[in-house]
């Protein structure tokens, strides 16, 4: 850009570019006096090193990539917040890529990042189907930390939440509140995240001797209207007294279906949803939630990535599991 460069700085100071470069990087082999002079002029002239040049030479980009399904998902935007905070502490830059749940796009993004554009990747995967070999190839080239939606078939560093336990607890809570017909609105069933949540539900039902009912399990269709229709049919046909939704997006069609059928939540149907909506307390008429520590997950995942980058730490296939919180709305009395 219209900017000053090392050579000009050196010229103005009657020093070599090498010396100036070293002074700016605070090398111990430069005299304090020279350093001072260099730093002063650099600040005065607003010198900013050209990142392409230094990346090219040093083979480090000071940049990490975050690959996620959707930024507009509350969970992910909170995670990005955490990631950005840690990246800034390390003086790193953050690139964002959205897959919109498309695995091919996901792999394409990663392949393109293999060229040195980033030093590492944080990813929450779109699905756990096939592409394993692609992932493995990429893991050989670049440090990758998986978070939340991890790929179980891959040995890698991962940060997740206690999907099984939290859903187990939530289901148990509904049972303790007297629910006997608890519907489960399933989603992410091509991901370990979704499978674990579902397993937690099934186990809680079984352990409490509540007859589980196949008919009470509805898969998510990625389309709000379809979901609404399915849920409404379920409510009419099966009359569940409790519902667990395995992702936040199912809460809305569920709420509408109840409203349109004049079912009062929580009186007629008790509802617990996975949700990272900050304003969830505003929700009507009192939706209880399973809330994941998204911000903390972002921070943890990024911190681990930086440990790997700085070679300060490298536990190859460790998985860190954070705890979700079940928030019970007082106002619902359940």
Partner DNA sequence: CTGTTAGCGCTTTCAA
Partner DNA sequence: TTGAAAGCGCTAACAG
Binding site for a second copy (CB under 8 A): 1-3, 46, 48-53, 55-56, 59, 61, 63, 70-72, 74, 77-78, 80-81, 84, 93-98, 111-112, 114-117, 140-142, 248, 251-252, 255-256, 259, 277-279, 281-287, 331
- Between CA 155 and CA 139 the distance in angstroms is 9
In 3D space, the residue among 125, 113, 188 whose CA is nearest the CA of residue 158 turns out to be 125
Between 4 and 203, whose beta carbon lies closer to a second copy? 4
Cα separation, 160 vs 300, whole angstroms: 10
Tokens for 312? 């300060």
Contact 90, 308 (CB under 8 A): no
190 lines the binding site for DNA (CB under 7 A): no
CB closer to DNA out of 47 and 201: 47
By CB under 7 A, what part of segment 8-27 binds DNA? 14-19, 21-25
**CA 187, 244, 294, 333: dihedral to nearest 10 degrees?**
170
Nearest residue (CB) to a second copy, 2 versus 214: 2
Examine residue 299 and tell whether it contacts DNA (CB under 7 A).
no
Three-state DSSP string of 120-135: EEEECCCCCCCCHHHH
Least CB distance to DNA at residue 40 (A)? 14
Choice between 165 and 268, CB closer to a second copy: 268
Q: What gap in Å lies between CA 177 and CA 269, rounded to an integer?
A: 11
Among 39, 41, 49, 101, binds DNA (CB under 7 A): 49
Q: Is 117 in the site for DNA (CB under 7 A)?
A: no
Q: Which does 33 bind (CB under 5 to 8 A by kind): a second copy, DNA, none?
A: DNA
The Cα-based distances of 11 to 5, 6, 8, 20, 48 in angstroms read 10, 8, 5, 10, 16
Shortest distance (Å) from residue 283 CB to a second copy: 5
Give all strands (DSSP E) within 59-124, no chain letters.
63-68, 93-98, 120-123
Taking the complex as a whole, the smallest distance from the CB of residue 117 to a second copy amounts, in Å, to 5
Q: In this structure, how many other beta carbons lie within 10 angstroms of the beta carbon of residue 24? A: 17
Binding residue (CB under 7 A) for DNA from 11, 39, 44, 54: 54
277 binds, among a second copy, DNA, none (CB under 5 to 8 A by kind): a second copy
Contact residues toward DNA (CB under 7 A) are: 5-7, 14-19, 21-25, 28-34, 49-50, 53-54, 56-58
């Amino acid at each position: 850009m219209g900017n000053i460069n090392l050579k000009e700085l050196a010229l103005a100071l009657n020093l070599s570019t090498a010396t100036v470069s070293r002074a700016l990087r605070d090398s111990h082999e430069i005299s304090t006096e020279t350093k001072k002079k260099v730093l002063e002029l650099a600040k005065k002239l607003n010198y900013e090193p050209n990142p392409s040049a230094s990346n090219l030479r040093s083979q480090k980009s000071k940049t990490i990539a975050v690959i996620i399904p959707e930024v507009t998902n509350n969970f992910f935007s909170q995670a990005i917040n955490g990631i950005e905070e840690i990246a800034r502490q390390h003086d790193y830059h953050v690139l964002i890529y959205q897959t919109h749940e498309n695995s091919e796009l996901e792999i394409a993004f990663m392949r393109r990042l293999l060229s040195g554009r980033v030093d590492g990747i944080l990813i929450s995967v779109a699905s756990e189907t096939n592409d394993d070999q692609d992932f493995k190839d990429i893991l050989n080239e670049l440090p990758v930390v998986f978070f939340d939606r991890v790929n179980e078939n891959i040995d890698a560093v991962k940060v997740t939440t206690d999907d099984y336990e939290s859903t187990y607890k939530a289901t148990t809570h509904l049972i303790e509140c007297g629910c006997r017909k608890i519907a489960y609105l399933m989603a992410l069933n091509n991901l370990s995240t979704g499978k674990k949540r579902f397993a937690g539900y099934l186990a809680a039902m079984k352990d409490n001797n509540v007859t589980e009912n196949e008919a009470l399990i509805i898969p998510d269709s990625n389309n709000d209207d379809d979901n609404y229709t399915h849920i409404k049919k379920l409510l009419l046909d099966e009359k569940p007294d409790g519902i667990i939704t395995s992702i936040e997006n199912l809460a809305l069609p569920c709420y509408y279906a109840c409203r349109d059928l004049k079912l009062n939540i929580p009186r007629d149907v008790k509802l617990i949803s996975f949700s990272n909506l900050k304003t969830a307390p505003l929700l009507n008429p009192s939706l209880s939630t399973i809330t994941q520590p998204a911000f903390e997950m972002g921070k943890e995942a990024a911190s681990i990535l930086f440990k790997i980058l700085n070679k300060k730490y490298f536990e190859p296939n460790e998985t860190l599991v954070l705890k979700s919180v079940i928030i019970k709305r007082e106002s619902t009395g359940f």
